[in-house]
Amino acid sequence: MEQSVRAKISELRNVCERDIAIQQLRVDDFANSFRNSLQLIKKRSEQTAEHQVNLGKLKAQLREAEDNLVKALSVKTRKEAKQMALADSISITKAKVEELRRTMEVIKARKDEYTAVVSKHLEELVASEEKIKQEIGCRDEIQVALAWYNKVLGFQIEGGHGVKFAFTNINKKFPTAEYSFTIHHANDTYTLIDCNPCLDDMEELVHELNKTNDLFRLVRIMREKFQEAPGLASFSHNTHVHQDSTTIPLSAPVASVSTDSRSDSPALLGESDKDFKKASSERGAKWRISAPRRQSPRLRTRNAIEN
């Protein structure tokens, strides 16, 4: 029995030793595992600390990046604002350029119009100057013709109550003998006031004058009729009653230079009719016909422009 107990105890001891060995192995494994875990934890803690340092650095970099981003956004905003302002300025400038272009087109059109107007006025001015020169030449010719007419043919016009047309140099024997007739014009009607010497067909001539209004033709015909009847004239200037008159520079019908000439002068005719009507309308005025005086070119030009 004792042996059996011993055998059991020995068996139990063997079992315990085996268990102890097993447990020792387990403890060793656990210790090794714990040491490994500690080392791993230490290593991870070191890594964590290192990661925390890196995280701090990253946070700092992130804050710096955020600051840079804010600055970049601010710069971008300012640039966008400047860009918008620049775009608005460009739009305004384009509008101004377009307006200036239209204004330049209008100014160019006006310039062309003004240039055309100025050219036209210059042409008209040149034409007017040429016309004035021609009129001055015509007036000079008329003045010379009037002087010749008054000197050679002895033709004078006296204004008063009517207009008196007087001729001398009709009768070669008595060149100073005066032949005259007086015409009055009122209400567009010519009336014979006096004729010296008297002619038979004066009424017909006055009637024809009222129909044709051709005073120049009447003066020419009257001179011819006076030449046909020179013996009827009164040669005494003292017995002839003159109208109270003064000399006026009226145009004479100088186209009839000779008694046989039948040529008419439209320019002198117009001036003669105009001056006759002016003389008839100014009753009581004291006129006297004198030889035409030569005027200065400046005065003749001014008179030509006024006429």
- Given this model, what pLDDT does residue 284 score? 38
Angstrom distance (rounded) from CA 103 to CA 96: 10
The reply to whether omega before 197 is within 30° of 0 (cis) is: yes
Instruction: Report the CATH superfamily, name and number, of domain 154-306.
Output: Chromosome segregation protein Spc25 (3.30.457.50)
Q: Are 179 and 233 in contact (CB under 8 A)?
A: yes
Kindly report the backbone phi and psi dihedral angles of residue 159, in degrees, each rounded to the nearest multiple of 5, phi listed first: -100, 145
Q: Check the CA dihedral 203-205-211-213 and report its sign.
A: negative
- Given this model, what pLDDT does residue 45 score? 86
Q: Are 245 and 288 in contact (CB under 8 A)?
A: yes
- Given this model, what pLDDT does residue 80 score? 92
Stated pTM of the model: 0.38
| Residue bearing tokens 């272009």 | 101
Q: What is the mean pLDDT of the chain?
A: 75
Report, as ranges of residue numbers, the positions in the chain whose pLDDT lies below 50.
233-307
